[in-house]
């Protein structure tokens, strides 16, 4: 049984806890919160017992095997670093780090702690329907690119409009549309098509300099991939992958609820599976498999680590193309 702790007392942490427990591979041991009261309030929303509330990382990383980190983006690096140095496996919500400099430091640190595994929680690439997309792409006559969409109005945008600066829309916290919802289509694109040869990002900036929404282009040798994402409006467009005449339509690139194959002759087939109520179950199981048998699953782990590294670099390259700077970029490592 993998004893784990969590950083973050929000809905996605609650979802991961439920998924982890459902696999039968994990046991929740500790909850980290800045205050005892907030941690206890979060614990009351869970259906688990015998969980400790801690308010320091040193207390969190004692007596656990793994930590799940769902704090603001700018905190991921330091919290992951301390965990690795404590010999604790890390699952960190996307994005792993604020920039490639931080990711490089994590990569160097992992060489000193070879038993530790470091994962990025990009749930959609672990779901069965993502594998359906990958398989169907291999059957296309000629791959001609894609349009991937994930745009969803954030409740925190209301706070921004009221004059506040919420973490998820602040460059001080390494946030904005690209480093939040944008990670989903970028992860899908790189997992499906590989790393692009060039990129460009055209954002719609908020008054604080963070991006509220935008359009990104990934350039490959024979095609382009267009990404549409944002937190200031809702989109109901499907994502599409283009063959010669065939098209794979995806209802939501993050949730993968419905996958439809259009054969070019007017025929459309639903080729996807029914999705789980909790979309994080498959990534939780995949990560547990690697922790429980790192030798057998060494290749798979390296593939996911390299994918996370490519995503991190692509995020940075897109952000750089739009001259968006984070506070974390000014640090020296």
The crossing angle, in degrees rounded to 10, of helices 281-292 and 11-23 is 60
Is the distance from CB of 199 to CB of 237 less than 8 angstroms?
Answer: no
In whole angstroms, give the CA distance from residue 104 to residue 113.
15
Looking at the fold, whether 77 and 192 belong to one and the same domain comes out as no
Please choose, from the candidates 10, 60, 51, 54, the residue with its C-alpha nearest in 3D space to the C-alpha of residue 28.
51
- Residue 180 belongs to a domain: yes
Q: Give the CATH number of the domain where residue 151 resides.
A: 3.30.360.10
Binning the chain into helix, strand and coil, the percentages to the nearest 5 are 40, 20, 40
Which phi-psi region, left, alpha or beta, contains residue 163 (left: φ > 0; alpha: ψ -120 to 50)? left
- Residue 67 belongs to a domain: yes
Looking at the fold, whether 165 and 110 belong to one and the same domain comes out as no
What's residue 106's pLDDT?
98
Looking at the fold, whether 73 and 57 belong to one and the same domain comes out as yes
Across 185-211, b (16+ Cβ under 10 Å) vs e yields bbbbbbbbbebbeebebebebbeeebb
What's residue 316's pLDDT?
98
Three-class secondary structure of residue 319 per DSSP: helix
What's residue 133's pLDDT?
98
In whole angstroms, give the CA distance from residue 249 to residue 270.
9
Spatial CB neighbours of 94, under 8 Å, sequence gap ≥ 6: 120, 121, 122, 183, 184, 187, 311
Q: What is the pLDDT of residues 228-277, one digit of tens each?
A: 999 999 999 999 999 999 999 999 999 999 999 999 898 999 999 999 89
Going along the chain, which residue ranges are E strands?
A: 2-7, 26-32, 52-54, 66-69, 89-93, 118-121, 146-151, 198-205, 211-219, 224-230, 239-242, 247-250, 259-262, 268-270
Looking at the fold, whether 232 and 149 belong to one and the same domain comes out as yes
**pLDDT score of 177 more than 80:** yes
What's residue 332's pLDDT?
81
In whole angstroms, give the CA distance from residue 293 to residue 13.
25
* Final residue before a domain boundary, out of 222, 240, 270: 270
Looking at the fold, whether 159 and 248 belong to one and the same domain comes out as yes
Overall average pLDDT of the 283-310 stretch: 97
| β-strand partners of 30 | 5, 52
What's residue 88's pLDDT?
98
Looking at the fold, whether 150 and 235 belong to one and the same domain comes out as yes
Structure confidence at residue 49 as a pLDDT band (50, 70, 90): confident
In whole angstroms, give the CA distance from residue 289 to residue 32.
25
Q: What is the pLDDT of residues 122-151, one digit of tens each?
A: 999 999 999 999 999 999 999 999 999 999
**pLDDT score of 47 more than 90:** no
In whole angstroms, give the CA distance from residue 245 to residue 225.
17
What's residue 165's pLDDT?
95
Looking at the fold, whether 248 and 292 belong to one and the same domain comes out as no
- Residue 203 belongs to a domain: yes
What is the Rg, in whole angstroms, of the alpha carbon atoms belonging to the chain? 20
- Residue 258 belongs to a domain: yes
- Residue 275 belongs to a domain: no
What's residue 226's pLDDT?
98
Looking at the fold, whether 186 and 259 belong to one and the same domain comes out as yes
Looking at the fold, whether 172 and 203 belong to one and the same domain comes out as yes
What's residue 154's pLDDT?
95
Q: Give the CATH number of the domain where residue 31 resides.
A: 3.40.50.720
- Output the average pLDDT for the chain: 96
* Final residue before a domain boundary, out of 270, 295, 311: 270
Three-class secondary structure of residue 130 per DSSP: helix
What's residue 264's pLDDT?
86
Residue with tokens 């940075």: 316
Instruction: Please tell me the total count of domains within the chain.
Output: 2
What's residue 331's pLDDT?
87
- Residue 326 belongs to a domain: yes
97 secondary structure, DSSP code: S
**pLDDT score of 333 more than 90:** no
- Residue 226 belongs to a domain: yes
Structure confidence at residue 323 as a pLDDT band (50, 70, 90): very high
* Final residue before a domain boundary, out of 270, 292, 307: 270
Is the distance from CB of 128 to CB of 140 less than 8 angstroms?
Answer: no
Looking at the fold, whether 74 and 189 belong to one and the same domain comes out as no
Looking at the fold, whether 105 and 6 belong to one and the same domain comes out as yes
Looking at the fold, whether 266 and 193 belong to one and the same domain comes out as yes
Q: Is 52 exposed, middle or buried (0-12, 13-18, 19+ CB in 10 A)?
A: middle
Residue 243's domain comprises: 125-270
In whole angstroms, give the CA distance from residue 96 to residue 76.
6
In whole angstroms, give the CA distance from residue 128 to residue 18.
19
- Residue 231 belongs to a domain: yes
């Amino acid at each position: 049984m993998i004893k784990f702790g969590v950083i973050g007392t929000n809905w996605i942490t609650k979802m991961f806890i439920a998924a982890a427990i459902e696999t039968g591979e994990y046991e929740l041991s500790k909850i980290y919160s800045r205050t005892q009261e907030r941690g206890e309030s979060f614990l009351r929303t869970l259906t688990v017992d015998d969980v400790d509330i801690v308010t320091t990382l040193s207390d969190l990383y004692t007596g656990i095997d793994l930590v799940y980190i769902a704090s603001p983006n700018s905190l991921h690096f330091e919290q992951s670093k301390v965990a690795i140095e404590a010999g604790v496996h890390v699952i960190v919500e996307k994005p792993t780090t604020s920039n490639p400099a931080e990711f490089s430091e994590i990569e160097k640190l992992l060489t000193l702690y070879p038993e530790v595994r470091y994962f990025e929680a990009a749930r959609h690439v672990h779901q069965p329907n993502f594998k359906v997309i990958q398989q169907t792409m291999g059957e296309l006559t000629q791959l001609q690119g894609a349009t991937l969409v994930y745009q969803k109005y954030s409740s925190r945008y209301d706070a921004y409009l009221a004059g506040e600066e919420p973490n998820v829309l602040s460059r001080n916290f390494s946030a904005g549309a690209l480093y939040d919802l944008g990670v989903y289509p970028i992860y899908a694109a790189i997992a499906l098509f590989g790393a692009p040869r060039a990129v460009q990002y055209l954002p719609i900036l908020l008054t604080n300099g963070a991006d509220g929404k935008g359009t990104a282009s990934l350039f490959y040798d024979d095609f382009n991939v267009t990404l549409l994402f944002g937190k200031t409006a809702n989109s109901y467009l499907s994502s599409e992958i283009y063959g010669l005449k065939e098209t794979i339509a995806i209802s939501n690139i993050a949730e993968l609820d419905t996958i439809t194959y259009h054969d070019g002759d007017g025929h459309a087939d639903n080729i996807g599976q029914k999705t789980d109520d909790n979309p994080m179950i498959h990534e939780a199981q995949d990560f547990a498999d690697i922790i429980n048998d790192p030798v057998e699953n060494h290749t798979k782990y390296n593939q996911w680590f390299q994918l996370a590294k490519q995503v991190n670099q692509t995020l940075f390259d897109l952000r750089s193309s739009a001259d968006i700077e984070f506070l974390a970029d000014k640090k020296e490592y």
